[in-house]
Structure 1
Amino acid sequence: MAATISVHKQSVVQLLGGGQEKPFVIPEYQRPYAWNREQIETLFEDLWEFASTRGGSKRDGTYFLGSVVSYDNDQTQEIIDGQQRITSLYLLLRAIYTKLVAIPSKTEEAENFISKTEPLIWRVDKLKGKITDRGDILFTSRVINNEGNEILRNILKTGQADPKAKDNYSKNYIIFQELLDEHSVKDPLMVYDFVYALLYQAIMLPITADSLETALTIFQTLNDRGLPLSDADIFKAKIYNHLKDEEKDAFINAWKELDSDAASVSENIQQLFYYYMFYIRATEDDKNTTTPGARKYYSDNKFVRLLSRPDILEELKRILNIWMALYNKGDVEEEWAKDKNILQILDALSSYPNEFWKYPVIIYYLVHGSEPDFGKNYLAFLRKLYVELLTRYLEMPTVSAVKSDILKLNVEIINTAKPKFGFKPVDDAGLDARIITPNSKVVKMILKVLAYEEQDDLLPDKWEVEHILPQKWQSTYFINTDDDTIKEMIEHIGNKLPFEKKLNIVAGNGYFTKKKTEYAKSTIAITKAMAELPADEWKLDSIEDHDKAVVAKVREILKRWNDEYTAQQQQPQQAGPSAEELAMIEKFKANGWVK
Structure 2
Amino acid sequence: METFKRTPLQLFNLPQYFVIPLFQRPYVWKEAEQWEPMWKDIRRIAEIRIAEPHLNPTHFLGAVVIQSHEAQSKRLMTWNVIDGQQRLTTLQVLAAVTGSLLSQADHPKLASQLEDLTHNSEKYVIDGASPLKLRHLNKDKEAFVEVLTAKPPIYYEELAHEDSQIVAAHRYFSTVVERWLGAPGTAEYTTKANELTNVLLDGLQLVSIELDAAENSQEIFETLNARGTPLTAADLVRNLVFPTPRG
How would you bin the TM-score normalised by the shorter chain? 0.7 to 0.9
1:67–1:302 distance in 2 versus 1, CA, 3 Å? closer
Bigger strand share? 2
User: How far apart, CA to CA, are the structure 1 residues paired with 2:49 and 2:201?
Assistant: 15
Measure how far apart 1:74 and its partner are: 1.5
- 1:27 aligned to which of 4, 18, 21: 21
Asked if the contact 1:7–1:208 (Cα under 8 Å) also holds between the matched residues in 2, the reply is yes
- 1:141 aligned to which of 136, 147, 150: 136
TM-score by length of 1: 0.35
CA RMSD of aligned residues (A): 2.9
User: How far apart, CA to CA, are the structure 1 residues paired with 2:59 and 2:146?
Assistant: 30
Per-residue CA deviation, residues 145-165 of structure 1 (Å, 9 max, x unaligned), is x2x310111111125462372
Using CA pairs below 8 Å that are at least 6 residues apart, which structure has the higher relative contact order?
2
Question: Counterpart of 2:144?
Answer: 152
Report the AA paired with residue 116 of structure 1: Q
Question: Counterpart of 1:77?
Answer: 79
Measure how far apart 1:184 and its partner are: 1.4
Measure how far apart 1:235 and its partner are: 5.3
Which segment is superposed worse, 172-181 or 54-63?
Answer: 54-63
- 1:178 aligned to which of 156, 175, 180: 175
1:67 aligns with 2:59: no
User: How far apart, CA to CA, are the structure 1 residues paired with 2:203 and 2:50?
Assistant: 7
Give ranges in structure 1 of 5+ residues lacking alignment. Answer: 239-298, 304-595
Give the 3-state SS of the residue equivalent to 2:64 in structure 1.
strand
Per-residue CA deviation, residues 243-262 of structure 1 (Å, 9 max, x unaligned), is xxxxxxxxxxxxxxxxxxxx
Give the 3-state SS of the residue equivalent to 1:35 in structure 2.
coil
Question: Counterpart of 1:491?
Answer: none
Q: Equivalent pairs: percent with the same residue?
A: 23
Bigger helix share? 1
Question: Counterpart of 1:91?
Answer: 93
Asked if the contact 1:161–1:174 (Cα under 8 Å) also holds between the matched residues in 2, the reply is no
Structure whose CA Rg is larger: 1
1:9–1:161 distance in 2 versus 1, CA, 3 Å? farther
Per-residue CA deviation, residues 38-78 of structure 1 (Å, 9 max, x unaligned), is 11111111110112125799342221111110111122211
Per-residue CA deviation, residues 479-507 of structure 1 (Å, 9 max, x unaligned), is xxxxxxxxxxxxxxxxxxxxxxxxxxxxx
1:120 aligns with 2:112: no
User: How far apart, CA to CA, are the structure 2 residues paired with 1:171 and 1:177?
Assistant: 10
User: How far apart, CA to CA, are the structure 2 residues paired with 1:221 and 1:56?
Assistant: 41
Give ranges in structure 2 of 5+ residues lacking alignment. Answer: 72-77
Measure how far apart 1:113 and its partner are: 1.6
User: How far apart, CA to CA, are the structure 2 residues paired with 1:211 and 1:180?
Assistant: 38
Question: Counterpart of 1:195?
Answer: 197
How many equivalent pairs are there? 224
Q: How does 1:507-522 map to 2 (within 5 A)?
A: none
Measure how far apart 1:166 and its partner are: 2.0
1:40 aligns with 2:35: yes
Report the AA paired with residue 79 of structure 1: V
Measure how far apart 1:118 and its partner are: 2.0
1:87–1:179 distance in 2 versus 1, CA, 3 Å? same
User: How far apart, CA to CA, are the structure 2 residues paired with 1:192 and 1:213?
Assistant: 40
Per-residue CA deviation, residues 258-297 of structure 1 (Å, 9 max, x unaligned), is xxxxxxxxxxxxxxxxxxxxxxxxxxxxxxxxxxxxxxxx
Per-residue CA deviation, residues 167-215 of structure 1 (Å, 9 max, x unaligned), is 1011110000000111112863323212211211111111011137533
Asked if the contact 1:72–1:208 (Cα under 8 Å) also holds between the matched residues in 2, the reply is yes
User: How far apart, CA to CA, are the structure 1 residues paired with 2:81 and 2:95?
Assistant: 18
Q: How does 1:197-346 map to 2 (within 5 A)?
A: 197-211=199-213, 214-223=216-225, 224-225=227-228, 226-227=230-231, 229-230=235-236, 232-234=237-239, 236-237=241-242, 302=246
User: How far apart, CA to CA, are the structure 1 residues paired with 2:95 and 2:246?
Assistant: 34
Report the AA paired with residue 27 of structure 1: P
TM-score by length of 2: 0.80
